Structure 1
Amino acid sequence: MAMTGPRGDTAWEVLETRLLSDNWARLTTSLLRVRLRDGTVQEQWREAYDRGDGACILPFDPVRRHVLLGRQFRWPAAQNGDDPFLVEAAAGLLDDAAPEARIRAEAQEELGLTLDVPRFLFSLYMSPGSVTERLHFFSATYGATDAQARFGGLREEGEEIEIMDIPLKEALTMIEDGTIRDAKTVILLQYAALHLMPED
């Protein structure tokens, strides 16, 4: 595989790829030959973790100015020595489903919420230095009567998610004080503050 860069002046080529792990996701290392803009040619080993693409959603209540989030255990945070119970937007891997279909299922599983039509916002790479995943971001409206479930998640997948129906202002404060440390959730909350429920 070879390709020209966006300016036509940097090309790269895959010389070799080795499989390192194929357990929950696929980890490979590839030897690349890269030509830089000044004509220098380098060979570089790069690793990529491929677990497929995902989708996430922020349900928001424009009447009460609330958002619906979940708190759940995350082993990598615990392994880092941090509080492992992270506050997050509902999300999941696509597993060959269309992003909108997958996020409808995740909202039901994690938040007990049956969505009307989710609104697609954008797609982002969350860690492009090493992870192939593109995350598709959505929003949707809900009301107080829709947010009745206290816990969500699939027990057979080891999930127990505390559902949090909280004011957007409180959620933004939770970013500032370090309670919310999940990148996709920060992005969605800031988008909500700017575009979905801006202050008058």
Structure 2
Amino acid sequence: MTKLADRVRVRTVKILADDWFVLKKTTFDYLRRDGTWQTQNRETYDRGNGAVILLYDRARRTVILTRQFRYPAFVNGCTELLIEAPAGLLDNISPEERIRKEAEEETGYRVQHVRKVFEAFMSPGSVTEKLYFFAGEYTSSDRVSDGGGEAAEGEDIDVLELPFDEALAMIGRGAIEDGKTIMLLQYAALHIFA
């Protein structure tokens, strides 16, 4: 089989927007399985890669999540603040370093040990972002601040400590709709709290 890089020939790349992140329109030729070349157009939104973490206390069977306003969800009919696992863009540092900083900034917990559990593309049809998923155990003594995020970045984050079983049940009730959070809670059901 031909390498994927040999099956794609980029013709043109046009930047459509470069404000919050970069939106590009690309015209390329793609070598199909039947050996014919097909010209395609795609828009890609490049916001960089990110990291997300599920903070958990195994002994007490609790997890730390956040709740915040998300404008894109709001304009798509979301009438509540989103409940999510702490996350952030890498901004040119390692996923491990970023997720420790984000966890502390958003939740107030300084996590000593984080473990990468998997990587995933969340919306590969249009967004270039890859997320690095982590899990990290916390105790009450790891709390060093109130958290809440960075006001200068528009963050206004509530910190939630929930029983794990309640967090899992919230998925079925539609109270947790964030994909990355659902993935981490399902991972925890299989590998941490099983």
Q: Tell me the TM-score normalized by structure 2.
A: 0.94
Deviation, 1:12, is 1.7
> Pick from 85, 91, 98: which aligns with 1:102?
98
Higher deviation after alignment, 94-103 or 141-150: 141-150
5+ residue gaps, structure 2, are none
CA contact (8 A) 1:151 1:160 kept: no
Aligned length: 193
Residues 1:130 and 2:126 are matched in the alignment? yes
Instruction: Within 5 Å, give how 1:53-132 maps onto structure 2.
Output: 53-132=49-128
CA distance in 2, matches of 1:146, 1:65: 16
Answering whether residue 162 of structure 2 is matched by residue 174 of structure 1, we say: no
1:37-78 C-alpha deviation (Å, 9 max, x unpaired)? 112221010111101000000010000110000000111111
Instruction: Determine whether 1:196 maps to 2:186.
Output: no
Paired residue for 1:162? 158
Aligned partner of 2:12 in structure 1 is 16
Q: RMSD across aligned C-alpha pairs, in angstroms?
A: 1.7
TM-score, length of structure 1 as denominator length: 0.91
- Share of identical aligned residues, percent? 48
Tell me the distance in 2 between the aligned counterparts of 1:185 and 1:88: 5
- SS of the aligned residue for 2:27 comes to strand
SS in 2 for 1:135: strand
**How many Å separate the matches in 1 of 2:104 and 2:146?**
13
* Change in 2 beyond 3 A, CA 1:70/1:128: same
Whether the 8 Å CA contact 2:56–2:63 is kept in 1: the answer is yes
- Which consecutive residues of structure 1, in runs of 5 or more, have no partner in the other structure? none
Indicate if the aligned counterparts of 1:150 and 1:162 stay in contact, CA closer than 8 A. Answer: no
Aligned partner of residue 174 in structure 2, secondary structure: coil
Task: Tell me, in whole angstroms, the C-alpha distance in 1 between the residues paired with 2:60 and 2:139.
Answer: 8
* Kept in 2: contact 1:147–1:165 (CA 8 A): no
- 3-state SS in 1 of match to 2:131: strand
3-state DSSP of counterpart to 1:152:
coil
Which aligned segments of 4 or more residues in structure 1 are displaced greater than 2 angstroms? 144-151
In the alignment, residue 172 of structure 1 is paired with which amino acid? L
Per-residue deviation at 1:146? 3.7
Partner of 2:97, secondary structure, is helix
Q: What is the CA–CA distance in structure 2 between the aligned matches of 1:171 and 1:22, rounded to whole Å?
A: 37
- Asked if structure 2 preserves the Cα contact closer than 8 Å seen for 1:71 and 1:163, the reply is yes
